[in-house]
């Protein structure tokens, strides 16, 4: 029961803002449509994994939420760059961050 609550809070504070940030950065960087499509697939595959990890490791969840809230970690850094659905997106977001 607590795990479900932690997972829900993590989704609310991290995964949903992650999706919004990716959408915003994709629009700002004018990423190709294919990368935007891959970003949706990436979030579909990575979002549940992040929520599951948060539900199983409360310390990681709390540290991640705080790290993102204070700006120490960008939410996009939570994405697995070795996932083929996320590789192009992670590369594009890193390039957009370096160019900013």
Q: Quick one: pLDDT band at residue 31, thresholds 50, 70, 90?
A: confident
**Residue 83 vs residues 24, 51, 58, 80: alpha-carbon distances, Å:** 21, 17, 24, 6
Q: What is the pTM of this model?
A: 0.74
Q: What is the token pair recorded at 1?
A: 């029961």
Confidence band of 59 (pLDDT split at 50, 70, 90): very high
Q: How far, in Å, CA of 15 to CA of 64, rounded?
A: 11
Q: Cα Rg for the chain, rounded, in angstroms?
A: 13
Measured CA distances, 15 to 19, 32, 61, 71 (Å): 6, 23, 11, 15
pLDDT of res. 74: 78
What pLDDT is attached to residue 96? 58
């Amino acid at each position: 029961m607590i795990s479900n609550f932690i997972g829900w809070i993590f989704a609310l504070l991290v995964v949903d803002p992650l999706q919004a940030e990716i959408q915003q950065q994709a629009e700002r960087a004018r990423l190709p449509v294919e990368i935007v499509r891959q970003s949706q697939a990436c979030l579909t595959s990575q979002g549940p994994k992040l929520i599951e990890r948060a539900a199983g490791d409360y310390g990681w969840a709390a540290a991640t939420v705080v790290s993102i809230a204070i700006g120490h970690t960008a939410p996009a850094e939570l994405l697995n760059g070795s996932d083929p659905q996320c590789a192009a997106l992670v590369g594009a977001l890193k390039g957009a961050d370096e160019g900013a």
